[in-house]
Amino acid sequence: MSTMSSRIIERPLKSWIISQNKWLQFILVMTAILAVFANVLPLELQKRIVNDAINLRKFDLLIFYCGIYLAAVVSASMLKYMINVLQNVIGQQAIANMRNALYRHILTLPLPFFRQTQPGLVVAALTTELATAGDFVGMAIAIPVTNLLMLIGFGGYLFWLNPLLAAVTLSIYPVVLLLVPVLQKRVNIYNRRRVDAGRKVSGNIAESVSGIHEIQANGAFSIENRKFGQLVSHLRRIRIIWNLYRFAVKAVNSLFTNFSRFLVFGLGGYLAINGRLELGALVAFLSAQEKLYDPWKELIRFYQAYQTASVTYSRTMEYFDAALEHSLVPQD
C-alpha cells in the first residue's frame, strides 16, 4: 500500500479536527465567548427589571433595562447564527477532504477487492457514512467550546445569585455523568452491529439487482425473499435495541434535569418566603437554571454524535483497509 493511502486509512477521526482551517476555528472560539456574555447578560437584566425598575416604579430604568435586554437577545441570536454558519463551513470542508482522500485511496486498491465488493457499498461509504463523520468534525469545536462556556457562565451566575441553591441544584449533574457513559457504551455496541447489518442488507440488494437475470431464469424468488427477509429482520432487531438505549440516555437526562427544577422551586421558594432570596433573584435563578439545560443537552448530544461518528468512521476505514499486490508507480 502506498504511504499516502496508508496514512489515510490509519488516520484517526480526531486528526481531521486539527487539520481544518485554523483561522475559522479561531473566529469560532471568539464568537462563542461573545455569545456567552450575550446569553448571561439578559439574566442579570431580568433581576434588575424586577427589583430596581418594577418594585421601585422607575419607568426610565424600565425602558433602559428593556432596551439593553432586547439588544442582548438580538446579539445572542445573531452570534448563534454565526456559530452555525462557521460550523457548517468547517463541516462541509471536512466532508469534502475525507471524500477526496478516501476516493484517492479506493482507486489504488487491488482488483480482488472490487470483485468481492458491491459498488453500492462503496457509494454509501463515500456519501452517507463519511457525511456523519464530517458533520461531527464541523461541530467538534463549536459545540463543546460554546456549550462548556455557557455552562460555566450560567453556573457561575447561579453561584453569584445564591451559592446554597446553586450547589443543591447542580449536585444532580454528576449522577448523570456517571449513568450516561454506561448507557452510551451499550449504544455504541449496537451501533456497530447496526452498521454491519446495514451493509449486509445493502450488499444483498446490490447482488440481487446485478444477478436478477439468474434469479428470474432459475425461479429463485422464494430463496432470495427468504434470505433478504432474514437480513431485514436481523437489522430490525438491532435497530430496536439500539434506539431503546438511545432513548434511555435521553430519558435519564430529562429526568434528572426536571428533578433539579423541582429543587429550585422547593428550596428557592422557601428561601424567598423567609426573605433570604429576593424575588427578582429567584426569577433570574429560574431563568438561568432553565437555560442551563440547553448547553447541557447539547453536550450530551455532542457526546452521542462523537460516539456514532467514531464507530461509523472506524468501520468505513476498516472496510477499505486492503493491501496492494504490487506498486502502482514504477520504482527507480
Residue 303 lies in a domain: yes
C-beta separation of 105 from 8 below 8 A:
yes
pLDDT in tens, 82-138: 998 988 888 888 888 888 888 888 888 888 888 777 777 788 788 888 888 888 888
Among 178, 132, 117, 149, residue whose Cα is nearest residue 28: 149
Inter-residue contact 103 to 126 (CB < 8 Å): yes
Beta carbons of 46 and 280 less than 8 angstroms apart: yes
Q: Are 251 and 261 in contact (CB under 8 A)?
A: no
Q: What is the pLDDT of residue 1?
A: 42
Give the span between the Cα atoms of 31 and 79, in whole angstroms: 6
The reported pLDDT for the residue numbered 7 is 65
In a domain, 145, yes or no: yes
Is residue 233 included in any domain, yes or no? yes
Q: Is residue 328 part of a domain?
A: no
| Whole-number Å distance between alpha carbons of 221 and 34 | 63
327 domain-assigned: no
Record the pTM.
0.69
In a domain, 329, yes or no: no
pLDDT of residue 46: 82
Q: Please state, as a whole number, how many other Cβ atoms lie within 10 Å of the Cβ of residue 312.
A: 23
**Domain CATH for 36:** 1.20.1560.10
For residue 261, give its domain range: 3-319
Query: Is residue 304 within 8 Å of 187, Cβ to Cβ?
Result: yes
Give the C-alpha separation, 57 to 12, whole Å: 61
Handedness of CA 15, 18, 21, 27 (dihedral sign): positive
- State how far the Cα of 150 lies from the Cα of 294, in Å rounded to an integer: 9
How many structural domains comprise the chain?
A: 1
Tell me which residues of the chain have a pLDDT lower than 50.
1-6
CA distance 194 to 122: 17
| Residues 23, 24, 28: CA angle, nearest 5 degrees | 120
Instruction: Find the largest Cα–Cα distance for the chain.
Output: 90
Looking from the CA of 202 toward its CB, the CA atoms found within 13 Å total 16
User: 261 and 222 in contact (C-beta within 8 Å)?
Assistant: no
The DSSP 8-state label assigned to residue 117 in this structure reads S
Rounded to whole angstroms, the Cα distance separating 39 from 291 reads 9
Domain annotation covers residue 330: no
Single-letter code of the amino acid located at 280: G
Q: Is residue 319 a contact partner of residue 8, using CB atoms and an 8 Å limit?
A: no
Record the cell numbers describing residue 293, joined without a space: 439545560
Whether 244 is in a domain gets the answer yes
Residue 39's closest CA among 80, 85, 82?
A: 80
Residue 3: predicted pLDDT: 45
CB-count exposure of residue 266 (10 Å: 0-12, 13-18, 19+)? exposed
